[in-house]
Structure 1
Amino acid sequence: MILATRDLTKRFGRVVAVSGVSLEVPRGVRFGLLGPNGSGKTTLVRMLLGLVHATSGHIEVLGEPMPKRAATVLPRVGALVEGPAAWGHLSGRANLRLLDAAGRGRAGRRRADRVDEALDRVGLGGVDRRPVRAYSLGMRQRLGIAAAILREPELLLLDEPTNGLDPRGIQEMRALLTDLNAAGTTVVLSSHLLTEVEALCTDVGVMDRGRLALTSSLDALRAPTGRILVRTPDPAGVVGVLDGQVLGRAGELVTVRGTDPVAVNAQLVARGVPVSGLVLEQRSLEQVVLEITGAGSDRVDRARSEGPR
């Protein structure tokens, strides 16, 4: 496992931010840590990096205990947590050169080449000498990711990596992370954006109120439900032919029990029932997360007993 935790807990006074999390992430995956805001995702990532010490429990990253072995582990890890950090009065290129020098970048290549390659990969190859404080939010985010990949890490830990990026930038970052993963880097990201995790990740963990509610491959989560959705101008005809299999109907849409759409279609057509659409139902990641997290949310409603202000 490239990272593992056992019974990991973090308390801030009376608040339990992370509670008894046991997590294993194998090498080579793209792992998405999902959950509502305030579910403990960022605190967990910060503990993995040794930025916050656990109240109790055990952490291993790259097979080494953390934070005890941070000095040997962190040079092999790229990270972006709670927004990119930079010296605002310096240019992006100067920031990366300082980081590369501090991290003793990969031997055998000139520092300038490493920095230029990282900037090119995140779409900042043509950046000028403007100080970082003059960058847009999207440019800062790209620079933070450039800093994370500068040392060609074995593991990338990214917290909300597409924050501030426009749709094109999000697509570019998705392609970059996929390419890095294909080249051997394990990618772990935390996000509340279901669509991004579903588009990028191979495996997922769901956090809910400090607890790890689920870990699974994305394919397993989206497995067929055992129901087929039939769209037809003659729903009564479908009910007549498949009466024992019908689970419900709404307008022209009839839900039937089954796992073989081809066989269902053939059965209906043979009895003269027109079919305009037919699909094997699969749960979306959104459905899975909402089922697991229940009422978990950053929403704050007014108490019913509270009078007008």
Structure 2
Amino acid sequence: MIRTTGLTKRYGRVTAVDGVDLRVPAGARFGLLGPNGSGKTTLVRMLLGLVHPTSGSVELLGHAMPRHAATVLPRVGALVENPAAWPHLSGRTNLRLLDAAGRGGRRRDRRARVEVALARVGLGGVDRRPVRAYSLGMRQRLGIAAALLRGPELLLLDEPTNGLDPRGIGEMRDLLVALNEGGTTVVLSSHLLTEVEALCTRVGVMDAGRLVLTEDLDALRVPTGRVLLRTPDPAAVVGLLDGQVVERSGNVLVVREDDPAALNTRLVSAGIDVTELAPQRRTLEQVVLGLTGSGSDRVDGRAR
């Protein structure tokens, strides 16, 4: 579905993307992660042919980009950075114009596609107010509706939940999962780790323009060698395990143990009630922070 080889983009002395070899199979829910300035958006723009690489190659849906953009892009839905729109027109009119430019066909069919797209993103009841009067969340929903107009095989979304409230984020997550289950490959570029962790099955991590990791999410979240334990008798656990308890907060303890089943057997044999016992796993946040450098929005120190 997506294949890049040695993909590089330089702006003068600045290397925004550095030798990226990316593979995204058909049917994936892929999350592209990294701090601000890590090269995620530049990479997405090169995939779509909006930015030409300095070196390397891009294949999208089996075709070289941007050479075959006219063939490929009608099968791709995309939202990159801020949603684009004619601000003096309504959202519905914006989508009709976009659909007419991309597909042509009968006006009746165009209206039906627009209504379906608006309904899917929660704008089915939108009125005739111009887009310039929309909230940030409504603009974001409209941008995603535009990406869905053509029934894409591949969705490339850059920060798609930007401006959405918690309910909207949940609705968008459910929509993307449903689209994926219907056969659409979803690629999500974001710095919001919790959203990627909740949605994606495979992730790539970028740092300083390089793709430093590509892996299935389940494989990344390996056990830490610690067990989370909840018990009505924490003092008995501390007395029994003698040094294995590394954290305690009320009736919840963290125990150093590689074999949760053996720990449970030992506690039950000692007559200690256990209400919860589960291995601790690395979070996606821990993985990303361990792989990425100091990229951030911070500006420390006194200005001179």
Fold in common (TM above 0.5): yes
How many equivalent pairs are there?
Answer: 298
* C-alpha distance after superposition, 1:252-273 (max 9, x if no partner): 63422323x2331121231345
The 1:108–1:43 alpha-carbon spacing in structure 2 relative to 1, beyond 3 Å, is same
The 1:163–1:106 alpha-carbon spacing in structure 2 relative to 1, beyond 3 Å, is farther
* C-alpha distance after superposition, 1:230-261 (max 9, x if no partner): 45323542334xx7xx4x623463422323x2
Q: 1-side partners of 2:107 and 2:60: how far apart? A: 26
Q: Which residue of 2 aligns with 1:190?
A: 189
Q: Which residue of 1 aligns with 2:255?
A: 255
Q: CA deviation at 1:109?
A: 6.8
Q: Which residue of 2 aligns with 1:149?
A: 148
Q: CA deviation at 1:35?
A: 0.7
CA RMSD of aligned residues (A): 2.0
Q: CA deviation at 1:199?
A: 0.8
One-letter code of the match for 2:247? A
1:221 aligned onto 2:220 = yes
Superposition map of 1:1-309 within 5 A: 2-104=1-103, 110-230=109-229, 232-240=234-242, 246=244, 249-251=246-248, 253-259=253-259, 261-273=260-272, 275=274, 277-302=276-301
Secondary structure of the residue aligned to 1:195 is: helix
One-letter code of the match for 2:186? V
Q: 2-side partners of 1:75 and 1:214: how far apart? A: 30
Secondary structure of the residue aligned to 1:4 is: strand
Structure 1 runs not aligned, ≥5 long:
none
The TM-score, its normalising length taken from structure 2, stands at 0.92
Asked if structure 1 preserves the Cα contact closer than 8 Å seen for 2:237 and 2:267, the reply is: no
Q: 2-side partners of 1:227 and 1:283: how far apart? A: 10
The 1:266–1:4 alpha-carbon spacing in structure 2 relative to 1, beyond 3 Å, is same
Secondary structure of the residue aligned to 1:85 is: coil
Q: CA deviation at 1:276?
A: 5.8
Q: 2-side partners of 1:256 and 1:142: how far apart? A: 46
Asked if structure 2 preserves the Cα contact closer than 8 Å seen for 1:4 and 1:59, the reply is: yes
Structure 2 runs not aligned, ≥5 long:
none
The TM-score, its normalising length taken from structure 1, stands at 0.90
